[in-house]
Amino acid sequence: MELTVRNWGKTKFDETVKLYTLKNDFLEVEILNYGGIIRKISFPDKNGKIENIVLNLNNITDYEERSPYFGAVVGRNAGRISNAELKIGNTAYKLNANNGKNNIHGGINNFSHKIWASKEIKGDDFVGLELTLNSCHLEEGFPGNISVAVKYILKNNELSIEYYGTTDRETYMNLTNHSYFNLSGDFKRDISDEYLKLNSDAFIAVDEATLPVKISEVKGTPFDFHEFSLLQTSLDSDDVQIKIVNNGLDHPFILNQNKKIPAAELKDDVSGRILKVFTDQPAVVIYSGNYLHEVGKLSNGSDCKKHMGICFETQDYPDILNFLPEKSKIYSPTDPYIQKTIFKFLINKN
């Protein structure tokens, strides 16, 4: 096991960006202290060829200027909050609107744009990185002085992400990682010929602003991934919910209660690579990169195309305080925010 660090440039505010590399016999993972970004995951295919399986960019300027949250920690909230308003008790907090009239991924200067404090962590059978960040009361409009820690732990063929958040007053937190996976390796193909399986009986339909409007059963729809299903079949569907998000998936799936089986599985038969996602969260937003053609060049010089990657945004229900207030979870000085997601990587050599 190895853990190395090197400087990776300066932000537009002249902050030093560090790139950490976690490595063992199974995986090599690059993480930036800017945005907590997972910049690279190198993993062999069935023939032993080691390639990168997450979308990335070439330098820190590219991440600052044109990244669609590639690999980043997003917060204080993942996804959209309608009308950029957060209601806690009898108080309504006006948030910064950065997606039309709504707040998305925590606002304008959200967690994905910040330099995090970093600390290397090691054990007998793992290497890891702990990133920490403080966010002051009413930053981006959110209540509470909060302290957040995100731990990346590489152990055998698993990369786990643990999130912790404490606050000095009642507030809401909902963090996730926004990596775009592409199991073909080094972006050789888009994701349309990969297969997806989800531990979910219901998804949340969205409106034109991608805000949640209705819980619907997946059965008989392009959102039924009870068994491994070719992504292209859903991406090419004429279903109005596929069309409304620019021909693809950008929907929350409500996860079944059994957390011992994967929330999501992705496989690529050509490379033999398999990804399994485990989480303690109630939902996962599946985003199939429906606007990735707007990004420009990827790190290897190739053009980023629509459906070039797929995100597994494990999180709380979307816009929960407005859409499902009866399920809302308010965090306080005695009730911290805790979340854990595990990405497990396998190879089918047949």
> Residues with catalytic annotation?
178, 313
Integer Cα distance of 163 and 131 in angstroms: 10
DSSP letter for each residue of 263-326? SEEEE-TTT-EEEEEEESSSEEEEE--TTGGGS-B-TTSPBP-TTS-EEEEEESPTTHHHH-GG
Integer Cα distance of 268 and 253 in angstroms: 21
Please say whether the beta carbons of 192 and 307 come within 8 A: yes
Going by the DSSP 8-state scheme, the letter that residue 41 receives in this structure is: E
- Find tokens 């073909």 and name the residue: 184
DSSP letter for each residue of 149-207? EEEEEEETTEEEEEEEEEESS-B--B-EE--EE-TTSTT-S-GGGSEEEESEEEEEEE-
Q: Which of 168, 147, 171, 135 is nearest to 333 (CA)?
A: 168
Using DSSP, state whether 78 is helix, strand or coil.
coil
Q: In b/e form, how buried is each residue of 43-55, taking b as 16+ CB within 10 angstroms?
A: bbbeeeeebbbbb
